[in-house]
Amino acid sequence: MLHSTKGQTRPWKAARGLAKALTVLAVVAGAGPVQAQAPGNWPDRPIRVVVPFAPGGMTDSVGRLSAEWLSRSLGQPAPVENRSGANGAIAAEAVARSAPDGYTLFTASASQMVMLPALTRLSFNPATDFAPVSIVASNPMVIAVSSALNVTTLEEFVALAKSRPGQLDYSSAGNGSSTHLAMALLMQRAGIDMQHVTYRGGAPAMQALLAGEVAAYFGNPSDMIPHLQGGRIRVLAVAGAERLASLPDVPTVAESGYPGFRAETWNGIAAPAGTPAPIVNRMAAALGNACADSQFRASLERLGTTPVCSTPEAFAEAMRRDAPLWQEAVRVSGAKLD
């Protein structure tokens, strides 16, 4: 079990900058390999898509959209299997150990591919045990506060927290989760101290903010947007390179006084290492076409995420680029194993 050396526990989701960077990498990588043909008559049977979390969250939603598109593009059923546990490590290991034949895929997220290796020793290595296929969408995180605080900007919130050191609480989806690590990183950059209150997932952590049990929550836009009209919460800043299309009036954290600050995750599709390159490239080409489809893009944008549909090379580069960021977040958060 992960735990934090800070705070307390209580029982009991558009990064256009990333999208642009991945697009550039896609161009640099070139279109030639993606046009290669898969061997034999692949696929000639259903393709299993494993999601490492329970139904309903961002990873599950992106995974289901991707599976539906792959099924339509490749002409075979692509059933989704939800296999939760151990922050996604159970599903990740199962897929990594599966036959590299293109019939078992992983709905990969930054959580398993770059965060978990910084938090604990794993029985698999995301960098070597998977063949990246495509980052389908990127998810800049957003910070929201209870309206009861009477603050309207991130600057005001930081000033309030500094005037009440250790007195404000923030919720997270669990120790070592992206919601925990993002806030820990912001606290370190802003020089503030708040109490960490863990919940069993993003939904109860969001409910705690709505109920006024905690002052703040650093989560996914899809967690926040449905509740904005109720007036109980206020989104202060977006932790991406640019503002979100779904929240155009909300500034970035960088605009709010913290240049270079970034806390964003991503979701995509990966296969077991050793999967033949023509199969990987055919899947990547299919998903690349997805982001050119207006309905597919709209479905992602309704989730508060940014369509990317990268190449395998860009996926691998994103893993290399993001690992140091989350390693720093783990270090400042104090999250560790029992």
Q: What does the pLDDT look like over 311-321, one tens digit per residue?
A: 999 999 999 99
| Residue appearing with tokens 């558009």 | 14
Look up residue 146 and give its two tokens: 């209870």
Share of the chain above pLDDT 70, in %: 88
Per the model's pLDDT, the better-predicted residue between 247 and 20 turns out to be: 247
CATH topology of domain 142-238: D-Maltodextrin-Binding Protein; domain 2 (3.40.190)
State how far the Cα of 135 lies from the Cα of 288, in Å rounded to an integer: 9
Radius of gyration from C-alpha coordinates of the chain = 20
User: Considering the chain, what is the average pLDDT of its residues?
Assistant: 88
SS3 call for 69: helix
Higher pLDDT, 19 or 303: 303
**Dist CA 332 CA 312 (whole Å):** 31
Q: Where are the domains of the chain?
A: 13-26+46-140+263-337, 142-238
List all residues 6 or more positions away from 209 whose beta carbon is below 8 Å from its beta carbon.
144, 145, 146, 171, 216, 217, 233
Q: What is the pLDDT of residues 105-118, one digit of tens each?
A: 999 999 899 999 99
Residue 221's pLDDT is what? Answer: 87
pTM over 0.95? The answer is no
Tell me 142's DSSP state. E
Residue of 36, 61, 38, 35 whose CA lies nearest to 49:
61
Instruction: Give per-residue pLDDT as tens, 150-176.
Output: 999 999 999 999 999 999 999 998 888
The band of 2, judged by pLDDT with boundaries at 50, 70 and 90, is very low
The confidence score (pLDDT) of residue 39 equals 66
Range among 127-131, 197-201, 229-233 rated most confident: 127-131
Domains 13-26+46-140+263-337 and 142-238 share a fold: yes
The more confidently predicted of residues 292 and 203 is 292
What is the mean predicted confidence (pLDDT) over 13-31?
42
Range 11-40 average pLDDT? 44
In this prediction, residue 54 carries a pLDDT of 85
What per-residue confidence (pLDDT) applies to 335?
Answer: 86
Q: In the predicted model, what is the mean pLDDT of residues 278-289?
A: 97
pLDDT confidence of 87, banded at 50, 70, 90? Answer: confident
Among 18-27, 48-57, 131-140, the least confident range? 18-27
pLDDT at 222: 81
Task: Tell me the C-alpha distance between 147 and 126, whole Å.
Answer: 40
φ, ψ of residue 143 in degrees (nearest 5): -105, 130
Cβ proximity of 239 and 142 under 8 Å:
yes
Is 309's pLDDT higher than 80?
Answer: yes
**30-34, 184-188, 207-211, range with the lowest pLDDT:** 30-34
pLDDT of residue 137: 96
Residue of higher predicted confidence among 58 and 148: 148
Q: Which pLDDT band holds residue 38 (cuts at 50, 70, 90)?
A: low
C-beta neighbour count of 211 within 10 angstroms: 10
Its CATH architecture, for the domain 13-26+46-140+263-337, is: 3-Layer(aba) Sandwich (3.40)
pLDDT (average), residues 213-221: 95
Helix H or strand E segment including 293 = none
